[in-house]
Amino acid sequence: MRIGFLGAGNLARAMVQSLLKEGDQTPSDLRCLSGSGATAQRLSDDLGIALAESRQDLFEQSDIIVLAFKPQHLETISEEDSKLASGKLIISVLAGRTLNSLSDHFPSARNIARVMPNTPAKIGKGVSAFCYAENPSEEDKASVESLLESFGYAYQVDEPQMHIATALSGCGPALFFRFIDVLANAAAEKGIPKDLALEVAIKTGLGSLELMRQSNQDPQTLIDEVVSPNGVTHALLESLKNSDWHYGLENGITDAVNRSIELAGER
Ligand SMILES: NC(=O)c1ccc[n+]([C@@H]2O[C@H](COP(=O)([O-])OP(=O)(O)OC[C@H]3O[C@@H](n4cnc5c(N)ncnc54)[C@H](OP(=O)(O)O)[C@@H]3O)[C@@H](O)[C@H]2O)c1
């Protein structure tokens, strides 16, 4: 599977690193091109993948093209590029760019996959939601899934659900980072050194989520295991119950879904 990356920034780098580590690809299967050329040169130098000389070179030498530039760079796709992409599989990670808008730019691609990854992809623990323009062939389905699974977990959804996935897994890391930050700051204010508070909060988060994953128990059962009547956790949860944090979270998800719809020009 020869893959060409149009855009060679943070996300392309994470994908290339994972493909070389986890996938069947060797550096000679991968090729990249960027805007100024600087990031593509760095990616090629660092990871040994080929540096494309031009878009023509990139498209002609690749069976799958990953669009990994910024969403606004989609407008730089020319008619010539569209022709070169004829019969290719296009994989787009561009936030907010719908399958319709991608199909307008690549009308003769053999299929288009729209993907919403998240930043833990950088360490091979990403969560990606994805959808297709057309029913994929078995071969394309396997290619897309193996590419996405090389840097984490991948879930196929219907395109309208991409907005919800964006709010949940796309924005999710920021939510967890904020949560840990608030927790560590609160503990630090009570007298634990900040770096220790942060480390304890992170490890508590990792252990708790891993327990949740491995035990397959629902959140309330796991909470019940921690709480004893009138105990310490009870005091904490009662205090939270009396605050409006869960409304804030619910509203936040609603606002994120709405913003995603707005950015996609669907409202
Ligand atoms: N980072 C994430 O976690 C994340 C999550 C979800 C979705 N995404 C999506 O992933 C995409 C890339 O994000 P990123 O964080 O990797 O961005 P980034 O680090 O800023 O990289 C952008 C890349 O696009 C290249 N570029 C600029 N103009 C170009 C052009 N005309 N033709 C080809 N390449 C061009 C840049 O090249 P030069 O700098 O060398 O000019 C650079 O390699 C975005 O569309 C974003 O919506 C990212």
Q: Report the predicted TM-score, pTM, of the whole model to 2 decimal places.
A: 0.92
Residues 38 and 146 in one domain: yes
Count CA atoms within 13 Å of residue 40 on its CB side.
Answer: 21
Question: Going by DSSP bridges, is the β-strand pair 126-132/111-116 parallel, antiparallel, or unpaired?
Answer: antiparallel
Supply the pLDDT for residue 263.
85
Residue with CA at minimum distance from ligand 1 atom 48? 11
Question: Where is the domain boundary, 159, 189, 207?
Answer: 159
* Residue 165 lies inside a defined structural domain of this protein: no
Contact assessment for residue 139 and residue 122, using Cβ atoms and an 8 Å cutoff: no
Residues 111 and 213 in one domain: no
Residue with CA at minimum distance from ligand 1 atom 1? 11
Complete edge-to-edge strand list for the sheet that includes strand 89-92: 50-51, 30-33, 3-6, 64-67, 89-92, 111-116, 126-132, 152-156
The first and second tokens of residue 189, run together, are: 């204010």
The first and second tokens of residue 58, run together, are: 């990139």
Supply the pLDDT for residue 23.
76
Residues 189 and 220 in one domain: yes
Q: How far is the CA of 16 from the centre of ligand 1 (A)?
A: 14
In ligand 1, which atom is closest to the CA atom of 95?
47
d(C-alpha 229, C-alpha 195), whole Å: 32
The first and second tokens of residue 34, run together, are: 């960027």
Residues 142 and 237 in one domain: no
Supply the pLDDT for residue 160.
93
pLDDT (tens place) for every residue of the chain, 267 residues total: 899 999 999 999 999 999 998 878 999 999 999 999 999 999 999 999 999 999 999 999 999 999 999 999 999 999 999 999 999 999 999 988 999 999 999 999 999 999 999 999 989 999 999 999 999 999 999 999 999 999 999 999 999 999 999 999 999 999 999 999 999 999 999 999 999 999 999 999 999 999 999 999 999 999 999 999 999 999 999 999 999 999 999 999 999 999 999 888 776
Neighbours of 141 (CB within 10 A): 15
Residues 246 and 180 in one domain: yes
Contact assessment for residue 1 and residue 63, using Cβ atoms and an 8 Å cutoff: yes
Residues 130 and 194 in one domain: no
Residues 147 and 192 in one domain: no
Q: How far is the CA of 70 from the centre of ligand 1 (A)?
A: 4
Structural domain including 58 reads: 3-159
Question: Where is the domain boundary, 131, 159, 187?
Answer: 159
Residue 252: give its domain's CATH number. 1.10.3730.10
Pocket around ligand 1 at a 6 A CB cut-off: 6-12, 34-40, 68-71, 73, 76, 93-95, 116-119, 170
* Residue 72 lies inside a defined structural domain of this protein: yes
Supply the pLDDT for residue 151.
92
Residues 151 and 192 in one domain: no
* Residue 164 lies inside a defined structural domain of this protein: no
Which amino acid belongs to residue 197? A
Number of separate domains in the chain: 2
Q: How far is the CA of 67 from the centre of ligand 1 (A)?
A: 9
Core vs surface per residue 186-206: b (16+ CB within 10 A) or e: ebbeeebeeeebbeebeeeee
Residues 103 and 207 in one domain: no
Q: How far is the CA of 256 from the centre of ligand 1 (A)?
A: 21
Residues 92 and 187 in one domain: no
d(C-alpha 113, C-alpha 107), whole Å: 13
* Residue 111 lies inside a defined structural domain of this protein: yes
Reference 5, options 67, 60, 85, 48; nearest CA is: 67
Q: How far is the CA of 221 from the centre of ligand 1 (A)?
A: 42
Question: Where is the domain boundary, 134, 159, 184?
Answer: 159
The first and second tokens of residue 205, run together, are: 């988060």
Residues 61 and 133 in one domain: yes
Residue 111: give its domain's CATH number. 3.40.50.720
Residues 20 and 135 in one domain: yes
* Residue 134 lies inside a defined structural domain of this protein: yes
Residue with CA at minimum distance from ligand 1 atom 35? 35
Supply the pLDDT for residue 200.
98
